[in-house]
Amino acid sequence: MTSGERHAAFEQGRIAEGTQGQIRTAGGEQRNRVLGLPLHILLIAPTFLIVFGLLVYPLGYAIVLSASNKILTGSVPFKWVGLENYLDLLALESEMWTSVGVTLRFALVGVFLEFIIGLSLALLLNREFRGRTWLRVGLLVPLMVPPLASGLIWRIIYDDEFGVFPHLIRTVGANPPIFLGDPDWALYAVVATEVWRSSPFMVLVLLAALQAQPVETIEAAEVDGASGWQVFRLITLPFITPVIIVALLFRTVDALRTFDLIFLLTAGGPGTTTEVISMFIYRWGFRHFKLGFTSAASILLMIATLIICIFYLRMLVVRQAEVQLTQE
């Protein structure tokens, strides 16, 4: 066989292999199609439908209701009102601003106390001492108690006649306040219950961050003569700051939408002393049946929550950028 014949045979073999590869590819693509649709589309379709049914559709329906005068009882003909519900809510004389103030106090005081308690206990549990395992187990108890049960338990604890706290105050000769019935005490009693219930979450998250810190950096700082406070302020705190921001984000968002605990303890009372935004929405939706009005309030709450999330995420991005600059 001459060189020209060998070259022609080689080219024919390459063409045959390419044709077979195209046939195999086409066959594979055909096998990966069901009902004429790509297989990967069909695999994610159930998840997409679930997300659409649980998130997109309710959100869209709430936006539609917020622009109407929809009444739950149907006693008033349906009518488009545009931004009227939003303007009523944002008016200076609106009751919503009272609920906004209560919500901010509840969230800020509660999350701040949870952070202080959580960080203190996390620093304690990060050290070796006798009984540390039992203390960790005890901290998990509030997380394992359902919100309904914890609300009922603390309602009994605060009870003026049979509660533990009033009884302890009477034993020292003092006159106990009506914790859940006194406007000066009700909100702080609810905050204390929320701190008891949610502080373990902060402890676990911050403890995990502390245990992820390299021991070598702390030992090197101690060898250089750094005090315990300097090690915490200059090494430990910057290291766990991203985790702190994420933990605060979760707890702030959760505090803004708290409903079950307040409903069980005070139902928003006395008066509107403990009526947070979620209780305000519940009252106007299920007692006054104004679905359009409450849908607008829900949309505003969602927007406020998104703004807070963006603020925390911005802090996280800035912190990560600072860490990268220091490493360079």
Q: Are residues 107 and 22 in the same domain?
A: no
Mean pLDDT of 35-64: 82
Which of the 8 DSSP states describes residue 35?
A: T
Give the whole-angstrom CA distance, residue 150 versus residue 196.
10
Does one domain contain both 97 and 27? no
Tally the domains of the chain.
2
- Confidence band for 208, pLDDT divided at 50, 70 and 90: very high
> 38 preceded by cis ω (within 30°)?
no
Alpha-carbon distance 283 to 22, whole Å? 66
Predicted pLDDT at 56: 85
At residue 2, the pLDDT reads 58
pLDDT at 275: 94
Based on the fold, state whether residues 18 and 118 are members of the same structural domain.
Answer: no
74 within some domain: no
Asked whether residue 43 is assigned to any structural domain, the reply reads no
Instruction: Note whether 227 and 300 are same-domain residues.
Output: yes
Place 23 in a pLDDT band, splitting at 50, 70 and 90. very low
The pLDDT, as a whole number, for residue 1 is 54
| Residues 17-27, mean pLDDT to the nearest whole number | 49
Q: Which residue has the tokens 């919500």?
A: 103
What are the tokens at 189? 């009693």
- Tell me: the pLDDT tens digits for 76-122? 788 899 899 999 898 867 788 999 999 999 999 999 999 999 999 99
Given pLDDT bands bounded at 50, 70 and 90, which one contains residue 218?
Answer: confident
Together in a domain, 99 and 22: no
Query: Which residue segment(s) compose the domain that 114 sits in?
Result: 93-327
Q: Which pLDDT value is given to residue 43?
A: 80
- What CATH number has the domain bearing residue 115? 1.10.3720.10
- Of residues 254 and 16, more confidence is placed in 254
Looking at the fold, whether 104 and 252 belong to one and the same domain comes out as yes
Q: Does the residue 79 lie in any domain? A: no
Whole-angstrom distance, CA of residue 195 vs CA of residue 122: 15
Written as six digits, the tokens of 198 are: 């949610």
| Eight-class DSSP state of 68 | B
Inform me whether the pLDDT recorded for 265 exceeds 90: yes
The rounded mean pLDDT for the chain is: 86
Does a structural domain hold residue 15? yes
Residue 144 lies in a domain: yes
User: What one-character-per-residue DSSP string does 219-255 give?
Assistant: HHHHHTT--HHHHIIIIIHHHHHHHHHHHHHHHHHHH
Q: Quick one: 24 and 100 in the same domain?
A: no
Q: Same domain, yes or no, for 247 and 101?
A: yes
Helix (H), strand (E) at residue 26:
helix 3-31
Please give the average per-residue pLDDT across 16-28, as a whole number: 49
pLDDT digits (tens, 9 = 90+) for 166-192: 999 999 988 999 999 999 999 999 999
**pLDDT level of residue 26 (50, 70, 90 thresholds):** very low
Q: Tell me, yes or no, whether 80 lies in a domain.
A: no
Q: Predicted confidence band at 294 (pLDDT cuts at 50, 70, 90)?
A: very high
Q: Report how far residue 258's alpha carbon sits from residue 99's, in angstroms, rounded to the nearest whole number.
A: 13
- pTM, full prediction: 0.82
Residue % of the chain over a pLDDT of 70: 88
| Exposed / middle / buried, residue 5 (Cβ in 10 Å: 0-12, 13-18, 19+) | exposed
Q: Work out the percent of the chain whose per-residue pLDDT is above 90.
A: 47
Predicted pLDDT at 269: 86
How far is residue 79's CA from residue 77's CA, in Å, rounded to a whole number?
6
Task: Please answer whether residues 103 and 257 qualify as being in contact, where contact means their C-beta atoms are separated by less than 8 angstroms.
Answer: no
Task: Please compute the mean of the pLDDT values over residues 132-140 and round it to a whole number.
Answer: 87
259 in Cβ contact with 250 (< 8 Å):
no
Q: What is the mean pLDDT of residues 201-219?
A: 91
In this structure, the answer to whether residues 15 and 125 fall within a common structural domain is no
Give a yes or no: residue 16 inside a domain: yes
Report pLDDT for 33.
62
* Burial profile 176-209: b = 16 or more Cβ within 10 angstroms, e = fewer: bbbbbeeeebbbbbbbbbbbbbbbbbbbbbbbeb
Tell me how far apart the alpha carbons of residues 202 and 121 are, in angstroms, rounded to a whole number. Answer: 9
216 pLDDT exceeds 80? Answer: yes
Asked whether residue 162 is domain-assigned, the answer is yes
pLDDT at position 119, please?
95
Same domain, 159 and 308: yes
22 & 128 share domain: no
| pLDDT at residue 223, as a whole number | 85
123 lies in the same domain as 5: no
DSSP state of 163: -
